Structure 1
């Protein structure tokens, strides 16, 4: 950053101080380095230099929330459909996949979501959570109502 004072309008000490206060640092990385950023400022009046002022900026990573994208899956009428991890379209830019999970916030209008508890399939409750490991192990399924076909998952009626 260079501030030039023109002879017709010299900068005052207050001008320099305000300019220095307005210096900002912006980080755009999703995975920032933890190396400290050092900002050094020296002021000159054209003939003499001031002492050096140094500021250190430490950037701390923020845990970004995971994102789930809508995904369509197709099953066979009257046949349970095991739901795999890709069914939920989950991504997270700053967490290992093994640490992820899902929370069921809306149950299907037709059919049931079920989870495998030991050797028994049980109905999923609203707001129940499941780990990626459980889903990868085939412990979550959609059980359609008998003789139903069509689109489901948004509270609509199957055909």
Structure 2
């Protein structure tokens, strides 16, 4: 029963991860927006199973993020303050650009990622996959970010 219930949440990250791996090789860094839900936690595990070099999860809830760290991800706690969240995400990325972003949240979390990604060298190599929209349907994409990120 558990395996059946986890199929769709697990496949939501497995497919973009394996597609990216087949097309471009194992991702160096995977950024997961929304790692604390079932699909996000499975995304962390899938990325780890496929050999991602680094996994960063950005979301809310200190306790839930501790559980995500136990699964092998570095974490960023989003506060809802756009400037603070952008700075925290950019800091956690530490000057490296994720090769793949799996976004279960959209809305303001996507805006935070869009704002943080252009600060990184090599942003043009990012595959950005919007999987869900838990936070909201809208996320204005600044021209400098949309031109740099490709949709997988």
TM-score calculated relative to the size of structure 2: 0.22
Q: If you compute each CA radius of gyration, which structure gives the higher value, 1 or 2?
A: 1
TM-score calculated relative to the size of structure 1: 0.21
Q: Which has the higher strand share?
A: 1
